[in-house]
A and B are shown apart, each in its own frame.
Chain A
């Protein structure tokens, strides 16, 4: 019981640095009460010592596998892009046709006119091998995660926003707070706010399926088996172009995600995603 009091005060103090003192006191009181009630309701010492996990083991493991795969996909994707930094719309496109746009970098192929008198080293071989291996790993991990969030109630409990949070007023207040770079209070460490929820839902159910689909649509074998998957996107070059833009969106997500974790408290958030614990409760005991 002492352990909980100590940790609750610590956690509140750390997280709510920017909060007015009234809400800090209220929060500490709330934490005390809830931990006491919880311990009082438990019937064994072991249960009293068990700290609730911020993130379940499955969420933590799939999170870090996805992180590794995403970084591998990003690096190898850039390597593959360097061999032909031009984008087209429709089914076909090559150096003799007009591009939709080009990326102003030297290419790893002498056949591509880039305006640079320099040809980058060719890294396409291992990049393609690793790109597809990482793609398999992340798609299988994503499927496991999707099944988990559907079955374990994580989707409805933690990701789908409550109706009340979707009002314009609530949303604009939240956006205003973000624009002022307000540090989140400790109470927010235990739940996702509505902007986070909407962003995660967008990444999980729109961007992730879209990047997988556009990636597969570039495969000549997949195109032969599922032609509609290609024509629905406007053609194989369109699929490549959309794949590129979804990558930009996912990169943006990664940058903002890391920046927000940093702002909210890098140590606590990282610890929560690695060990599942929020504070240093175990050390206090």
Chain B
């Protein structure tokens, strides 16, 4: 007795063919609309792609929840960072007057801004939740220049797809897609809870991406590079996080 009837074989092969072509179509659509994250090559690629693509579609224009002042955490926690070197300490002694944020890549007018010049952009502020991938969180007010204003000032070219940002901490760099880069809540932050941004929380300049977890909010940023491909940065995975085993997209 044959265990497989003709009907089972026919429905089975139709199912497999439909599934395979469905996947192929989905993959090509995802590539066209930029829904594949740069760290999608590994064994966790399918899950990462599903998360990134689904969240991009659902959250393209959503804004992070903003809270009243009364909800600001009395005790925010400044997570530890690698020891800040002598170069940083010299900047700190000088009140960060010499700190520069360079902006280059696919821009019409590459530029370099001091903290004072960043503060001359129209400022944005938000009281939002910052959650660490470990599980803890706090709410704070963040004050800074919307990244979109800075990108406008340097004349970002239309083929731009990602903004790579680097820290004075050599091994901490990251990137975001244009949906996050142009998002109104994405700030080059210099203030917190009504005052200066403390060094522990990333001062003088920290990129705040409130729709992603803490580690995407790189502290002590020194350089923004606008690019159409992440291949030439580090190992080509989009940030130092995947090189250390963590996902590039941290919206979850």
Interface residues of A (CB under 8 A from B): 46, 49, 80-81, 83-84, 86, 91-97, 109-111, 124-126, 128-130, 132-137, 216, 218-225, 227, 230, 236-237, 240
Contact = CB atoms under 8 A, between A and B. Distances in A.
B231 interface: no
Given A83-B134, A128-B246, A136 B59 contact: no
Interface stretch (B20-28, B62-70, B95-103, B169-177): B62-70
B177 to A, nearest CB: 12
A86 B181 CA distance: 33
B1 to A, nearest CB: 6
Nearest to B216: A220
B139 interface: yes
Contacts of B136: 84, 86, 93-95
B76 interface: yes
Contact of B47 (A129, A223, A237): A129
B49 to A, nearest CB: 10
A261 to B, nearest CB: 26
A132 B75 contact: no
A97 B75 contact: yes
9 contacts: A84-B134, A92-B138, A97-B75, A111-B80, A129-B47, A132-B48, A220-B129, A220-B210, A225-B58
B129 A92 contact: yes
Contact of A132 (B51, B59, B63): B51
Interface string B7-18: 000000000000
A114 to B, nearest CB: 13
Nearest to B244: A125
B137 A225 contact: no
Given A81-B135, A94-B138, A125-B245, 6 more contacts: A94-B73, A126-B245, A129-B42, A133-B46, A136-B46, A220-B131
A216 B76 CA distance: 24
Q: Please classify the interface of chain A as helix (H, G, I), strand (E, B), loop, or mixed, using the class held by over half of its residues.
A: helix
Interface of B: 1, 42, 44, 46-48, 50-51, 55, 58-59, 62-65, 67, 71, 73, 75-77, 79-80, 129, 131-139, 210-213, 244-247, 251-252
Contact of B135 (A132, A216, A240): A240
A232 to B, nearest CB: 13
Given A129-B247, A132-B51, A223-B64, A91 B212 contact: no
B62 A224 contact: yes
B247 A80 contact: no
A122 to B, nearest CB: 9
A125 B62 contact: no
B1 A221 contact: no
A216 B59 CA distance: 13
Contacts of A125: 244-247
Contacts of A134: 47
Report, nearest first, the 9 A-B pairs whose CB atoms are least far apart: A133-B47, A125-B245, A221-B251, A96-B75, A129-B44, A84-B135, A94-B136, A94-B77, A219-B252
Contact of A225 (B44, B59, B75): B59
Contacts of B75: 94, 96-97
Nearest to A137: B47
Given A46-B1, A132-B51, A218 B131 contact: yes
Given A84-B135, A125-B246, A132 B47 contact: yes
Contacts of A230: 65
B38 to A, nearest CB: 14
B73 A92 contact: yes
B201 to A, nearest CB: 13
A214 to B, nearest CB: 13
A170 B90 CA distance: 79
B100 to A, nearest CB: 30
